Amino acid sequence: MGKMPLWADAVLVPLFSLLLAAIVSALVIMGIGENPIEAFNLMVDGALKRSDGWGFTLYYTTNYIFTGLAVAVAFHARLFNIGGEGQAMLGGVGVALACLYIPWPHWTVALIGTSLFAAAFGAAWAYVPAILQAKRGSHIVITTIMFNYIAFSVLAYLLVEVLRPAGSMDPASATFPEATHLPSFHDMFAPEGSRLFRSAPANVSFFLALAACVGVWLLIWRTRLGYEIRSFGHSETAAKYAGISPVKITVIAMLISGGLAGMMAINTTMGESERLVLNFTEQAGFVGIAVALMGRNHPVGILVAALLFGFLQQGGAELALWTSIPRELIVVIQALVILFTGALDNMVRMPLERVFLALGKKEAN
């Protein structure tokens, strides 16, 4: 055994990184005078032991699956798309326009139509940074960050000046027509009179997110385009030698990435609030970066990582509700997870590699 096996890289490295993040988080909780074990039990109780808790956890998970996949597709082409937040905002605009101005006959048809609108608007917002990177060499991180700020301004303008109903002071669009309302988990799974998932916002778009995981896996590992994206990501020089166009791959990867980020808006805008509101993205675009890092840019890993961050989000809300621990602490925990699974990844990986190298030498002797 000469190097760390793939299963160890995919399972052990994130697991030990999470353990380190949990230990440091526990120390932080102890530092503010609370019991970390009680805090963890409260998070588990609020996020996993009740149907409503599961409903909220899966609702946040849906957001993070879309934004995590968006980051991952771009990353396979070695593009760091940090603009998922802005692309999701524009996706929300696409969903709102489709719901408000097209008379959909049924939610199933509306879901297909609005998915296309959300993806198209998100992809369009990613196109300019992509073409600037491909043609002019502008750094994709800088341009996508700036486009996040522009997107927020565009969204605020549209909600205040264009989509806000007459007489309303709330910067939000009108409520979408009833035919576009997506069925929630309570509508789908609760028997008559049951309280199952009664107040949870999880809805049918969760299954759309799962379908997106399958679609991204097929695209990246089972198509010629996916092969070209991965080849370009591994070596631009080799990809050029093989006849792969850097401009084409950069633009296509960013369009797919932006489209996935835009589709996140279906869950929050069409599935939960049933209208377009400010701050509907709830920072999911940024959390998607951590989800993709922790999930090793693989759809299965992203699904697991999205579940973890969904748990942290819902569990953090329970902590803030029932203890004196501030909700902001969950941001600290998320940051620690990002720190240990991303920036300090080698702190775990290198000792593990030495262990497997030592095991390999022992087997050889």
**In this structure, are residues 85 and 281 in contact, taking their beta carbons and an 8 Å threshold?**
yes
**211 or 350: whose pLDDT is higher?**
211
- CA 310 to CA 307: how far, in whole Å? 5
pLDDT band at 238 (very low <50, low <70, confident <90, very high): very high
**What would the mean pLDDT of 143-165 be, rounded to a whole number?**
95
Higher confidence at residue 162 or residue 40? 162
When mean pLDDT is compared across 26-40, 123-137, 286-300, 332-346, the lowest value belongs to: 332-346
Q: Which amino acid is residue 115, in one-letter code?
A: S
pLDDT at residue 110 tops 60: yes
Identify the residue with better confidence: 137 or 331.
137
Instruction: Give dist(CA 365, CA 359) in Å, integer.
Output: 10
The predicted pLDDT at position 2 comes to 53
Residue 141: pLDDT band by 50, 70, 90 thresholds? very high
pLDDT at position 8 over 90: no
Average pLDDT, the chain: 90
Q: ∠ CA(197), CA(201), CA(202), 5° rounding?
A: 75
91-100, 217-226, 314-323: which has the minimum mean pLDDT?
A: 314-323
Share of the chain above pLDDT 70, in %: 98
* β-pair partners for 47: none
Helices of type H across the chain: 6-7, 13-31, 36-48, 51-76, 84-101, 107-131, 140-157, 185-189, 205-222, 224-234, 236-241, 246-265, 284-294, 299-322, 328-338, 345-364
Average pLDDT over residues 74-80: 94
pLDDT at 92 over 80: yes
Amino acid 247: pLDDT: 95
- pLDDT of 1 higher than 70: no
Asked whether the predicted pLDDT for residue 79 surpasses 70, the reply is yes
pLDDT at 147 > cutoff 60? yes
**Can you tell me the mean pLDDT for 299-310?**
93
**Prediction pTM value:** 0.91
| pLDDT for 318 | 83
Task: Report how far Cα 357 is from the mean position of its chain's Cα atoms.
Answer: 35
Distance CA 63, CA 201 (A): 12
pLDDT at 277: 95
The CA distance from 234 to 284, in Å, is 28
pLDDT score recorded for residue 341 = 74
- Segment 125-130 shows an average pLDDT of 96
Q: What is the mean pLDDT of residues 120-144?
A: 94
pLDDT value at position 121? 98
pLDDT band at 365 (very low <50, low <70, confident <90, very high): low
Confidence of residue 265 (pLDDT cuts 50, 70, 90): very high
- List the structure tokens of 130: 């992509």
How far is Cα 86 from Cα 262, in angstroms, rounded to an integer? 9
- CA–CA distance, 77 with 140 (Å, rounded to integer): 12
Q: Between 20 and 251, whose confidence is greater? A: 251
